[in-house]
Structure 1
């Protein structure tokens, strides 16, 4: 049974670049770095068979498997023993050699027991030939170089193992899950923190695998632990919110909604159960469990500091926002059509709280306020709309709004000196000297001597530049009189 979260859809207008980069990195490593493994392995098999090492090791391997079954209770080894015997009977030398060489635990067993297993001449031959194969080929395989080997743990392999994979099926499955989970977590955390959290989850997953496989020489490869970390972060980010999950059971699939965090113990429990009861499948269940716990734990521990979810993450996507805006705007316009002005005003105000960038909403609120020019709301909306026009570089609209207010609302709620001064500066930039003089007169009536004097000086200089002597003289005289 497969259960994965499916709450979000990707927004290709803002691609998840880090997730796509991780996918590309894994593919490039698999194709160009790990691509040479098959040739190295073929060469190792050729030398292994030409040295007749399979004749020496095969009887020892059967004895080794029988000991694992009898003394360590590893019942999963029974099937391996049967398959190995079948390969010997059918003289499948190539696959026989692969089995013998790639079982790293068996190789350690041979090193420890070679004096008991073989006579001196056989032992010397084995040691000489096997050492060459190990050094020239097997140790140069990607999994042995950069994979995570619990018995020989290195700090750098806690990172490098996350980018290696064991085959096409392994990498394709991992990258699909990386994409499905990664774009959501990247959107929630931001690219930089997401990348660090991804790598940390992979490292912690590797440490948990090492703790349960202490002394093992079997290398761990793959992004599964890191991806499990993404799963843990995903459900921890949503917490108790109900989100949509996709599940697949046999040939049947469907969706269901449940609190996100409720699935975490289910996933962890399944991985631990499989670790104890699924047998030797080659799947690192404890690495998965470690990744799940690490991902959720990081968000819970650092969710209010370094790993805090970005505020815009929980906002609806643009398409959904547009649909909500269109619906709300239609309702407000319908209220206007029915002349229910108070209701329309409340509806436009509610819309503006959620969509402050929608200029049309401010215009509607301005026109509604204009119905009562005697109230302070009209003055406030006028100032807002004037500032909005300036921010959008529409000085002509700003001047038109000011002119309209002078005729309708100035006698009830006068504008401040700063408002008229802003109009004066805008008028001068637009070379509208008539509006500038009018703004000066309004500014003078506010009683702000400092702004009035500065405005008078600017007008005098502007008229002098234009060689309009009478006007310039008039404002110079006003300056002297002041």
Structure 2
């Protein structure tokens, strides 16, 4: 049974950049770094079989597993023994070699007991060939180089193991859960604190795994410990608030609501139960349990200090209907002020509305019209430029040209437009085949004094008039271009 929290939706206007970055990092590490593992392993298997090491090790491996099961109480390894015996019966030499090469605890057992296992000649041959093979290929596999090995803990592997994965299924499953949980926790904590908390959960998860596997040489890889930490943080952030959970049972799925923290003992109990009773599945149950405790514990200990949830998180987005109602009321007040000719008050009201609703162009239009009442003030030029840019963005070049012409008549004498404003009008008017407007924009551009833009505009006019076989006009601008080049 799968249960995951599903209280939030992604706000793509403010994407969860750290979550997406972590996903991309895991993907790139898997493709670009771990992608070399199959070739290394194939080389190791080829050399292993050529050196006939399988003949020496396979019988020892069966005996090794039987001893671990009988005397070490490792009953979960019965399936490993049965699978290996099946491989031997079917003479699957390649898969036998892979099993023996990747079992690091078995390799350590061979090193420690080689004098007892083989006669001197066989022992010397094994030591010479197997140790060289291990150093050349096996130790360079990604899991061996950067995975978390409990017997050899280092700070860098406590971080690096979080970005390695055991296969495409392992990777894609973790990326899915990282996204589903990460965007909410990142929204709650903020990008920087989220990243630190995520990596710290992975470190603590790895330490818990190592504590329950002391001395093991089997490497741990995967982001699932850190992702379990996200689950712990998720429910600790919501505390006793009732939130929505998605569950999947066989082919049936649905949602239910429950206090967030109520699911923490359920998840923990499942991981601990599976650790003791699920057998040898290859799943790091205690790493998951450690991550859950780490995430919940970090929020519990530091939720009022450096991991404090941002205030805007619980407020959530304002419902669309409420936004519309608020906008309508504010807009009506501003229009009423206009009707009473209280222009300063109306301007302040429209500015306040625009601060909350920047995507409503009608507010910019009203502010522009109000600014026209005082064309001698700089605000008229700035709003004219904004209105021109908005018109161009909305693919309304005719409106942009009309605003430009209106400004030339009223505000250009007080606060001239920038050269790029005239240049945009020139381009737009040529596309609309309004050549008189284009020539007027060129003259304004010349008076603005940007030689680079003037030359480019002059060349463009020459090309356009030549294209339309308007030779007198083309000749006129060729002469101007020559004068500009000469000057």
| TM-aligned CA deviation for residue 144 of structure 1 | 0.4
Q: 2:329 aligns with which of 345, 356, 361?
A: 361
What's the counterpart of residue 305 of structure 2? 305
Q: Helix, strand or coil for the counterpart of 2:71? A: helix
- SS of corresponding position for 2:248: strand
Q: Which residue of 1 aligns with 2:279?
A: 279
Task: Identify if the C-alpha distance between structure 1 residues 322 and 138 changes in structure 2 by more than 3 Å, giving closer, same or farther.
Answer: same
Aligned residue in 2 for 1:132: 132
Cα offset for 1:399?
12
Structure 2 residue aligned with 1:454: none
Bigger mean CA offset, 253-262 vs 386-395: 386-395
Aligned-residue offset at 1:300: 1.5
Call closer, same or farther: CA 1:428–1:211 in 2, change over 3 Å: same
Which of structure 1's runs of 4+ aligned residues deviate more than 3 A?
A: 360-370, 381-400, 426-431
Write the distance in 2 (CA, Å) between the matches of 1:183 and 1:14. 10
Partner of 1:290: 290
The answer to whether the 8 A contact 1:390-1:398 is kept is no
The match for 2:190 is 190
Which segments of 5 or more consecutive residues in structure 2 lack a partner in the other structure?
Answer: 355-363, 380-487
Matches within 5 A, 1:151-300: 151-300=151-300
Structure 2 SS opposite 1:176: helix
Which residue pairs with 1:470 in the alignment? none
Q: Distance in 2 between matches of 1:199 and 1:390?
A: 43
CA offset digits 1:80-129 (Å, max 9, x no partner): 11221121121110001111111111111111111111111111000011
Q: Is the 8 A contact 1:241 1:259 kept in 2?
A: yes
Cα contact 1:389–1:398 (8 A) shared by 2? no
Residue-by-residue CA offset, 1:178-235 (whole Å, 9 max, x unaligned)? 1111111111111111111111110110111111111000000000001001111111
Q: Could you state the TM-score of these two structures normalised by the residue count of structure 2? A: 0.70
> 2:141 corresponds to which residue?
141
Instruction: Give the number of the structure whose alpha-carbon radius of gyration is greater.
Output: 1
Once residues 86 and 228 of structure 1 are traced to their aligned partners in structure 2, the CA distance between those partners, rounded to angstroms, is 36
Match of 2:319, SS state, is: helix
- Secondary structure at the residue paired with 2:155? coil
Change (3 A) 1:89 1:390: closer
* 1:25-104 equivalences in 2 (<5 Å): 25-104=25-104
Q: Aligned-pair distance for 1:365? A: 5.6
- TM-score after normalising by structure 1: 0.71
Q: CA deviation at 1:323?
A: 2.4
**Conserved in 2, the CA contact under 8 Å of 1:389 and 1:397?**
no
Contact 1:387/1:398 (<8 A) preserved: no
Q: Which moved more, 1:159-168 or 1:16-25?
A: 16-25
The one-character-per-residue Cα deviations of 1:281-305 (angstroms, maximum 9, x if unpaired) are: 1100010011111111111111112
Name the Cα RMSD after superposition: 2.8
Shift of 1:324: 2.9
- SS of 1:258's partner is strand
CA separation of 1:313 and 1:127: change in aligned 2, threshold 3 A: same
Give secondary structure in 1 for the equivalent of 2:3. Answer: strand
The 3-state SS of whatever aligns with 1:247 is: strand
- Quick one: distance in 1 between partners of 2:273 and 2:168? 27
Distance 1:429 1:92, change over 3 A: closer
Determine the C-alpha separation between the residues in 2 that align with 1:82 and 1:97. Answer: 16
CA distance in 1, matches of 2:237, 2:346: 39
| 8 Å contact from structure 2 (residues 161, 221) kept in 1 | yes
Aligned-partner SS, 1:156: helix
Write out per-residue CA displacement over residues 46-102 of structure 1, whole angstroms, 9 at most, x where no aligned residue: 111111111001111111011011101111222211221121121110001111111
CA distance in 1, matches of 2:298, 2:217: 29
Question: Does the CA contact (< 8 Å) of 1:362 and 1:385 recur in 2?
Answer: no
Structure 1 Cα separation of the partners of residues 103 and 114 of structure 2: 16
Work out the CA distance in 2 between the residues paired with 1:113 and 1:273: 35
Residues 396 and 101 of structure 1: CA distance in aligned 2, closer, same or farther (over 3 Å): closer
Unpaired stretches in structure 1, ≥5 consecutive residues: 330-350, 352-357, 374-380, 401-425, 432-482
